[in-house]
Amino acid sequence: MVERELIGAALRWYTMHLRRLAAGKEKRRIDAQLRAGGDGAWCLQRVIQQNDTGRQLTELKRKELAALRELARLCPKQRGHLQAADVIDVNGTAALLAEPGKKAVAILG
């Protein structure tokens, strides 16, 4: 069950991460338009958009951080059965190396 929870947490974090990146890109676009200047009414509309986008970005950052905390909370449960482990990446294939005498797990990337 921990694997399913871990995958769900990773997907939630990734989704929030992509949304935050998109909101940041939109905010930078609006900031650039404001710096370029324009007439008063147009500029006021952009300032309102900038404030709304900034609030949205802050909220998405909070959600992303919460999803990352959840992911960090679940990771030790997944690795709890391993005392020492290393992850190696060779030719696009990651392998989880367990203690001597235990089976290694390969993860195709």
Distances (CA, A) of 51 to 24, 34, 38, 48, 57: 12, 12, 18, 5, 10
For residues 103 and 64, the model is more confident at 64
Taking only the tens place, the pLDDT of each residue in 5-44 is 888 999 999 999 999 999 999 999 998 888 887 666 777 8
26-55 CB burial, b ≥16 within 10 A, e <16 = ebeebeeeeeeeeeeeeeeebeebbeebee
For residue 39, give the 3-state DSSP assignment: coil
Mean pLDDT of the chain: 79
Q: Which of 25-29, 46-50, 99-103 has the lowest mean pLDDT?
A: 99-103
Whether the pLDDT of residue 84 is over 60: the answer is no
Model pLDDT, residue 68: 93
